[in-house]
Amino acid sequence: MTVDDHPALRDGVATMLEHEPDMTVVAEAENGAEAVATFAEVRPDVTLMDLQMPVMNGLEAITRIRATCSTARFIVLTTYAGDVQAVQALKAGAASYLLKSTLRRELLDAIRAVHAGRRYLAPGIAQDIALHSADDVLTQRELSVLQLVADGKPNKVIAWELSISDDTVKAHLRSIFAKLDVNDRTHAVTVALRRGAIQLR
């Protein structure tokens, strides 16, 4: 099953698989909620799941499907190379994390590996995960602060929106800078975006 909100990607995957004797696209969905419902009907062996979709995102869809079918196998297809999102996807139950830009080279191998019960990670993504595996993880509140910084909000507005004091915002920022090994807000946002911890919106 292919789950992506862009019809062109779903069509592209179907075209890639149509000449493979051991693969058939049994269903498509354009958001996570549709994926959960469709999975229950068709029970595909492998599901290709986008992360950023309307209605329900891919991580939530994987979590919900795995709650009812612990043997469900997922390959995440994404445009985001960041190690943070890759780790989140793997923790949610994905067996593979592929960049959409590498599908022509890696998709068929990934599908066969995941179907056989193995994990499949592109070397670059595996290296990023290993590189940051010992890093201190940003807390949910720190991520909220950093996302608002990325949105261009000053400390006073961040404090108001999160119902915390200015000093608490500054303390969170000091912690964020230390964990990301940066010296200022701009660099913190740049690193967090590259690693997939936050998104531009």
Q: What is the CATH number of the domain that holds 110?
A: 3.40.50.2300
d(CA 94, CA 74): 5
Number of domains making up the chain: 2
Segment 22-72, tens digit of pLDDT: 999 999 999 999 999 999 999 999 999 998 888 899 989 999 999 999 899
Residues 120, 144, single domain; the answer is no
- Is 3's pLDDT higher than 60? yes
Question: What does the buried/exposed string (b/e) look like for 139-168 if buried means 16 or more CB atoms within 10 Å of the residue's CB?
Answer: eeebbbbbbbbbeebebeebbeebebeeeb
- Is 136's pLDDT higher than 70? no
Residues 15, 84, single domain; the answer is yes
- Work out the average pLDDT over 184-194: 87
Residues 25, 121, single domain; the answer is yes
Nearest CA to 75 out of 54, 51, 105 is that of 51
Q: Which of 105, 132, 159 is the last residue of a domain?
A: 132
Token match 């961040």: residue? 158
The angle formed by the CA atoms of residues 48, 118 and 86, to the nearest 5 degrees, is 55
Predicted local confidence at residue 86, as pLDDT = 77
Residues 23, 111, single domain; the answer is yes
Predicted local confidence at residue 82, as pLDDT = 65
Residues 91, 180, single domain; the answer is no
Segment 71-89, tens digit of pLDDT: 999 999 887 766 677 778 8
Is residue 96 in a domain?
Answer: yes
Full domain range(s) for residue 181:
140-194
89-95 long-range contacts, CB within 8 A, separation 24+: 89/51, 89/58, 89/59, 89/62, 90/119, 92/59, 92/62, 92/63, 92/66, 93/62, 93/63, 93/66, 94/49, 94/62, 95/119, 95/120
Predicted local confidence at residue 199, as pLDDT = 76
Residues 110, 150, single domain; the answer is no
Is residue 28 in a domain?
Answer: yes
Residues 72, 103, single domain; the answer is yes
Is residue 199 in a domain?
Answer: no
Q: How many CA atoms lie within 13 A of 62 on its CB side?
A: 27
Residues 111, 169, single domain; the answer is no
d(CA 90, CA 119): 9
pLDDT-derived band at 135, boundaries 50, 70, 90: low
- Is 98's pLDDT higher than 60? yes
Distances (CA, A) of 125 to 76, 80, 91, 104, 128: 12, 10, 15, 17, 5
Please give the residue that has the higher pLDDT: either 168 or 51. Answer: 168
- Residue 75: beta bridge partners? 48, 96
Among the listed ranges 45-49, 91-95, 152-156, 168-172, which one has the minimum average pLDDT value? Answer: 91-95
